[in-house]
Structure 1
Amino acid sequence: MLQVFTSEGQKGTFRILNQEENSVPHIRIATRRSPLALWQAEYIAAELEKMSPDVTTELVKIVTRGDKILDVPLAKVGGKGLFTKEIDEALFDGRADVAVHSMKDVPTQLPEGTSIRALPERADPRDAAATITGGGLDTLPEGATIGTSSLRRVAQLQARFPTFKFVSVRGNIQTRLSKMGQEVDAIILAAAGIRRMGMEDQMHEFIDTEMLLPAVAQGTLGIQTRNDDDVVNALVDRLNHADTVDRTRAERAFLARLEGGCQVPIAAFATLDGDQLTLKGLVGSVDGKIVIRREIVGLRRDGAAMGIALADEILDAGARPILEALYAEGSHG
Structure 2
Amino acid sequence: MKELIIATRKSQLALWQSEFIADFLEKTHHIKVRLEGFKTKGDVILDTPLAKIGGKGLFTKELEESMLRGEAHLAVHSLKDVPSFFPKGLKLAAISKREQSNDAMLSQNYENLQALPKGAKIGTTSLRRKMQLLTLRSDLNIISLRGNVNSRIEKLKKGEFDAIILAQAGIKRLGLDKAVKFLYTFSKDELIPAAAQGALGIESLDKKEILDLLECLQDKNAYIETKIERDFIKTLEGGCQVPIGINAELKDDFIFVRAVLGLPDGSEFIKEKSKIKKNEFEDYGEKLAKIFIEKGAKDLLKRAEKMI
Same fold per superposition (TM over 0.5) = yes
Q: Is 1:313 matched with 2:287? A: no
Secondary structure of the 2:259 match is strand
Who is 1:30 aligned against?
7
* Whole-angstrom CA distance in 2 between matches of 1:25 and 1:155: 48
Cα offset for 1:111? 1.2
Secondary structure of the 1:130 match is strand
List alignment gaps of at least 5 residues for structure 1: 1-23
* Whole-angstrom CA distance in 2 between matches of 1:290 and 1:161: 14
Deviations 1:251-276, CA, capped at 9 Å, x for gaps:
10001011111332101111113332
- TM (norm. structure 2) is 0.95
* Whole-angstrom CA distance in 2 between matches of 1:237 and 1:206: 32
1:69 to 26, 37, 45: 45
Deviations 1:214-244, CA, capped at 9 Å, x for gaps:
00000000001122x2222111001111101
Who is 1:162 aligned against?
138
2:263 to 262, 277, 285: 285
* Whole-angstrom CA distance in 2 between matches of 1:123 and 1:292: 27
Cα offset for 1:124? 1.0
Give the partner amino acid of 1:142: K
Give the partner amino acid of 1:226: L
* Whole-angstrom CA distance in 1 between matches of 2:241 and 2:280: 27
Give the partner amino acid of 2:225: R
Who is 2:82 aligned against?
106
Q: How does 1:123-138 map to 2 (within 5 A)?
A: 123-138=99-114
Who is 1:200 aligned against?
177
Q: Is 1:85 matched with 2:64? A: no
Flag the 1:108–1:120 CA change in 2: closer, same or farther, 3 A.
Answer: same
Secondary structure of the 2:296 match is helix
Cα offset for 1:328? 5.5
1:234 to 209, 212, 220: 212
Flag the 1:150–1:241 CA change in 2: closer, same or farther, 3 A.
Answer: same
- TM (norm. structure 1) is 0.88
Deviations 1:103-140, CA, capped at 9 Å, x for gaps:
01001111122211111110010111112424011110
Give the % identical residues.
Answer: 40
Deviations 1:39-72, CA, capped at 9 Å, x for gaps:
000000000011112x101111111111110011
* Whole-angstrom CA distance in 2 between matches of 1:133 and 1:318: 40
* Whole-angstrom CA distance in 2 between matches of 1:218 and 1:50: 26
* Whole-angstrom CA distance in 1 between matches of 2:304 and 2:267: 15
* Whole-angstrom CA distance in 2 between matches of 1:48 and 1:69: 32
Contact 1:153 1:212 in 2 (8 A): yes
Q: Is 1:223 matched with 2:199? A: no
Who is 1:269 aligned against?
247
Contact 1:156 1:288 in 2 (8 A): yes
Give the partner amino acid of 1:296: S
List alignment gaps of at least 5 residues for structure 2: none
* Whole-angstrom CA distance in 2 between matches of 1:154 and 1:134: 18
Cα offset for 1:100? 0.4
* Whole-angstrom CA distance in 1 between matches of 2:264 and 2:223: 30
Secondary structure of the 1:204 match is strand
* Whole-angstrom CA distance in 1 between matches of 2:22 and 2:34: 8
Cα offset for 1:291? 2.1
Who is 2:163 aligned against?
186
Give the partner amino acid of 1:277: I
* Whole-angstrom CA distance in 2 between matches of 1:101 and 1:279: 23
Contact 2:228 2:282 in 1 (8 A): yes
Who is 2:92 aligned against?
116
Cα offset for 1:327? 4.2
How many residues matched? 305
Contact 1:25 1:232 in 2 (8 A): no
Secondary structure of the 2:152 match is helix
1:210 to 189, 193, 201: 189
Contact 2:6 2:34 in 1 (8 A): yes
Q: Is 1:139 matched with 2:115? A: yes
Deviations 1:18-51, CA, capped at 9 Å, x for gaps:
xxxxxx4300001111000000000000000111
* Whole-angstrom CA distance in 2 between matches of 1:149 and 1:79: 11
Contact 1:296 1:310 in 2 (8 A): no
